[in-house]
Chains A and B, each alone.
Chain A
């Protein structure tokens, strides 16, 4: 119950009257940072659904506060939540049992971003972003898992037409150390490895957003991810793409992105209906809403 009150309060704060490191996109991010002494509150809600078989739907929440330490350097802290409903699909090593969980605390994250070049002043924007995350739940199955994750990214941004058209590009590397907790009542032949494992993944993203009316932006974005794991080598790859709609007001902004897996590969589960997608750790569809409030 306390979690619900906390989230409701967060969303209410995000919805107060009436924006700086404003996100024009749901998945790729620009190079701008908050000015010194200013802050921003974010609430993200992401829904992931459809693994091709059975019923799968997960919701990720991210509640984040960002602060501009200097005009070039900002820090942030995040609390992440997770709810998973999965029925009628068991995948050896990945989805051990049906689940219909409440929203639970998934983990914490801290991040920092340093801006080297400003897109408006230097004509090409460039920032370095790094984050460290602790997770306590497996975001795919909803089962208990301890995860330590480090991510580094370069974020580029370019304005065209005096800022009416914005391009962003991201390239990133993520490394994670994971250890699953044993599940007592699994069938004997079901694999659920509990030895520590390492994952390394790469991420390349790009987006283009056009301001079609004052405050309103329409864009498209795409994300290519590759993941390698100690046991299986290349575990998965996927390309997601989709449209984004963004509104920015004087103090708050909101972005809605509909993301769909266009192609994917790597491991597949037995009987997977769509062979050109990766549906073990990814879903076919995602929907993300972000709301930001500047203070």
Chain B
């Protein structure tokens, strides 16, 4: 095969390299609600952020609040506030990572659930051993990889963004959700 005939190589490889869907969703919102606030009743609300509010979130959390709206579910049991469930997206290496965070009335993380994760490495973010590191965290904690949150090799960007995302949600709760 001579050099000029090698042009043909680019076409089939480019076609084979076309996109394929590989999305994997693990939990629905209802399932995340039941996992994080078992037996609770939920009231949905939508937070809308102005540009100035998003700037304040960024200043306090250290990362951008990408969207100007966020859905939040207030969890109550027998009329007593249990906390808030927030569903958010952060950037993974290729796709967005969707995760739910439960924050208690005291402003501390009750738990997190990874609702969809589609990356090559780092599937361990879904394991309880990684997720439970967030339990009890508040905005005053360091939120540093390999300091108070363990990094997962090959998925550092995903770990960093989920970790920063949880801190950002704590900031949102502190600023906009009051008991």
Please report A residues at the B interface, Cβ cutoff 8 Å: 4, 11, 14-15, 17-20, 22, 34-36, 38, 43, 45, 47, 57-59, 68, 71, 83-85, 100-103, 118-121, 159, 161-164, 211, 214-215, 247-252, 254, 256, 287, 289, 291, 294
Contacts and interface: CB of A to CB of B under 8 A. Distances in A.
Contact of B146 (A15, A20, A103, A121): A121
Q: Which interface class (under 10, 10 to 19, 20 to 34, 35 or more) fits B?
A: 35 or more
Contact of A215 (B12, B13, B95): B95
A285 to B, nearest CB: 13
8 shortest interchain CB distances as A-B pairs: A35-B154, A254-B17, A15-B16, A35-B153, A85-B3, A120-B156, A71-B153, A120-B157
Contact of B120 (A58, A161, A294): A294
A83 B95 contact: no
B70 interface: no
Contacts of A119: 156-157
Contact of A254 (B14, B93, B153, B159): B14
Contacts of B161: 162-163
A103 B1 contact: yes
> Interface residues of A: mostly helix, strand, loop or mixed?
mixed
Contacts of B22: 18, 249-250
Interface string B1-18: 111101101101110111
B64 interface: yes
B96 interface: yes
Contacts of B12: 11
B120 A20 contact: yes
B120 A59 contact: no
A215 B94 contact: yes
B21 to A, nearest CB: 9
B78 interface: no
A262 B118 CA distance: 39
Given A19-B93, A47-B7, A214-B96, 20 more contacts: A15-B16, A35-B154, A38-B154, A45-B6, A45-B10, A47-B3, A57-B4, A59-B3, A68-B154, A71-B154, A83-B3, A84-B3, A102-B1, A118-B156, A119-B157, A121-B146, A214-B95, A215-B19, A247-B17, A254-B14
